[in-house]
Amino acid sequence: MTDRLGSYAPPPSVWEELKEELKQAAPELGIDDIGFASAEPFVSLKSILQQHRDKGYESGFEEPDLHKRVTPMLPGTEPASLIAIAVAYPSKMANPPKSEPGKYRGIMARSAWGRDYHHVLREAMSRLEAYIRERVPDAVLESMVDTGALVDRAVAQRAGIGFSAKNCAIISPKYGSWIYLGEMVTNIPFPPDTPVTEDCGECTKCIDACPTGALVGPGQLNSQRCISFLTQTKGFLDEEVMRKIGNRLYGCDTCQIVCPKNRGKNWDHHPALQPDPEKAKPLLLPILDLSNREFKETYGDTAAAWRGRKPIQRNAVIALGNFRDASAVPKLGEVLLKDPRPELRGTAAWALGRIGGEEAMNNLEKGMASEQDSQVRNMLQQALSKLKSSSNTDTSSAAHQQAEPKTDIAGAHGAFGPGGTQQGSGPADAPVQGAEPMAVPEGGPEMIYYDEIQSPVGPLTLCATDKGLCLIEFGSFYVKEAVIQQWSRTWAGNGGYKRDPERLAPAAQQLKQYFAGERKAFDLPLDMRGTSFQIQVWEALKAIPYGTVRSYKDIAESIGRPKAVRAVGGANNKNPIPIVVPCHRVLGADNSLIGYGGGVELKRTLLVLEGAIADR
């Protein structure tokens, strides 16, 4: 087929024929999906982008001219249609290397696995251009990959590649969100494809799991808070961000990993995109010794190289601090005292403060004596103050070194949310590569105090931190010890536990009064630890009066998330302080007794005790 454009353009049926021919040829061109759309301006998108800019949510990498971002253009002619392509990439790594004490590893986001996707997509687009020009010699074609003015997700959605998800990714019904996108503007009037009508429904797992809360709403990303963006910046990072980065060296996959639409999806049919395990999960310490030349030789063919070695090396220092790797102290001390880059010196000071110990303290004091940069001096002072305020630095450091952060379990599907809270259950929700390390409080690992009491529903194990009651488990301590250990590792830095009846006496007394029908409300300090969404739900549970019931929908509406009924159910089921925080007062839509950690009969017993339902 050879046609020319102009006043004697062929009828639309010819372009339909060419479109179908391109779809058939796409796999041979290295393209997994291809879609066609009109080249009309994205009128409604402009106001959305303006609001995004006004709120300060932009990353700064975007095209500054909003008109160009929403208006397809071609040099010398009017655009007639858009072509969107998708190339699928892997989500899992075969036999990933694991961290070991003294040999801890970082993690690259999947977008940096294998060869730089920009090159892979540009080559695919070039093959597509050549294919079209063989058939339409005077076609005007302009391709773009990631760096073009147009919003590639908007083009992909209009062209039927997938739908725009709450995590701001395009989700293909076949490939999930594990796809790279490219687009082409042309003067060929291809008939448009139909957009995908599927959506996320009520699911908010990505929003709930985002470590920094960067997903400020469905389809709304504050780039300035996004870990993927922050790992690519070159400056100093604040305390919260560094703790949240965990062992990520480049990018963040959390919002894609937790997405149910991605469950079981892994694409390994593009050899160039397959990861080299030693580059995708590299040892951290050797990264700090890389020269510019060595960095380019090692990572220059990956997407992680575009910002140079400084962000990667800074993030490696952060990871060593989050791992509390005592064996890294000599190298971190060298970075602190000798590296010419202030960002690296300041980050090393922070990491040494996280690790602790006499050698770390000595390095910090040496740095304080010689450092001239004000920002670095400030970070040195904060690290020294943190270590000096500890009542027993050596003991604290030893405890840190024994605590193995949860960053290296080899599953590549499912996820842990912020701080390691598991999303869902079962094999599909196993720990993930690159999940952030366990949460370790500012003052170091915390002791968990516990006691057991007997109740009408059987033995209860009560646990508290110095801040307040943190767990109630149905069963004796002996039975629930593993669960309590897991909670401690996830939320309290694995600081150990000991029995302390006196500390738990107020909680024990109030629970006994409750079971005797003498107390309808609890007055106890609570230390509830979970994701921001979970805590929001748990606060709503506390507001349910004694002897009344609510539905999951009621709770969702009360927190201003009326469509998050499912997510509310999940948070309700993870309530760490049952009875005191009355998750038993929430019923299914048909008033059924569902979703209680202690079992349906125990839930019934509590509701009968309160007079909320009749005894059978």
Whether 259 is a known active-site residue: answer: no
What is the distance between the alpha carbons of residues 290 and 300, in angstroms, rounded to a whole number?
Answer: 13
- Please give the Cα distance from 468 to 338 (Å, whole number): 44
Tokens at residue 247, please? Answer: 């062992």
Decide which of 423 and 548 is more confident. Answer: 548
Instruction: Return the top range by mean pLDDT from 78-87, 204-213, 555-564.
Output: 78-87
For the beta carbon of residue 178, count every other beta carbon within 10 angstroms: 25
Could you give phi then psi for residue 590, rounded to 5 degrees? Answer: -100, 25
Instruction: Name the residue among 462, 404, 391 with its Cα closest to residue 437.
Output: 404
* Band of residue 133 on the pLDDT scale cut at 50, 70, 90: very high
Q: What's the CA gap between 556 and 565, in Å, rounded? A: 6
CA gyration radius, the chain: 28
pLDDT in tens, 42-86: 988 999 999 989 999 988 888 889 999 999 999 999 999 999 999
Q: How confident is the model at residue 391 (pLDDT cuts 50, 70, 90)?
A: very low
Q: What is the pLDDT of residue 592?
A: 74
User: What span, in angstroms and rounded, lies between the C-alpha atoms of 163 and 173?
Assistant: 8
Lowest mean pLDDT among 15-24, 127-136, 266-275, 488-497: 488-497
pLDDT at 445 over 90: no
pLDDT at position 521: 95
Mean pLDDT across the stretch 547-551?
Answer: 93
Per-residue pLDDT of 301-338, as tens digits, reads 999 998 899 999 999 999 999 998 999 999 999 999 99
The active-site residue, picked from 168, 255, 470, 583, is 583
Domains identified in the chain and CATH numbers: 12-186 (no CATH), 205-402 (no CATH), 446-610 (1.10.10.10)
